[in-house]
Amino acid sequence: MRRDVLWIGLLIGEVWVWSCTQSRAADPGPYVSFGAGVNIANDVDFKSGGGAEFNPGYRFSVAGGYHFTPMISAEIETGYLFNGVKDAGDTTLSQVPFLANVVFRFENSSPFVPFVGAGVGGVASFFTVDDVISKDGDNDVVFAWQVQAGVHYRINDKMSAGITYKYLGGDSPEFDIGGGMIRFGVVHNHAILASFNWSF
């Protein structure tokens, strides 16, 4: 057990030292990032039976963070996700995440920089029922988690742009609609975004 911990510690230390020596990497400092694209929400099962199927929607995201080393950064992210419910009039699900992420960039001698990241936080979900029978809505805030991966093209020392995939999970929101509770299962979101990063 102690040997495993030692090896893990040595590996983390080597990665940290390596990340600090990348000649073409971004300097430590603050940054902002933006993204926009399509969001696919998986079908959701209601815990009382039945479920909902979502049409493709969209996602906007914005984050502010800090490069601690050329490889490692931490950020705070929010944004907006929107999907309509299929064959249910104007019934919609909107989501506003608020997440703390850690991002690892794989700096190299080329202008293309791959990256991965993960985060946790919460998501405010707004479910609006608007069909020929009723019109009502409610909201809930639940635990959320996210993973992301992508690649950016380094435009210059301060700016980069590329493609980002983001998976966002929301832990079973509940909504009081028409006096009855609708309890979702886990909401799974998959987004492909055009993304832009600007370092200061």
Q: What is the pLDDT of residues 122-166, one digit of tens each?
A: 999 999 988 656 778 899 999 999 999 999 999 998 999 999 999
**pTM of the predicted model as reported, rounded to 2 decimal places:** 0.83
- As beta bridge partners, residue 69 has none
Cα–Cα distance measured from residue 39 to residue 190, given in angstroms and rounded to the nearest whole number: 6
Q: Which of 154, 157, 186, 155 is nearest to 172 (CA)?
A: 186
Report domain 2-199's class.
mainly beta
- pLDDT for the residue 23: 43
Condensed to tens digits (0 to 9), the pLDDT of residues 156-199 reads 989 999 999 999 999 999 999 877 888 999 999 999 999 999 99
pLDDT tens-digit map of 26-85: 678 999 999 999 999 999 988 777 888 999 999 999 999 999 998 999 999 999 999 999
HSE-up of residue 120 (Cα within 13 Å, Cβ side): 2
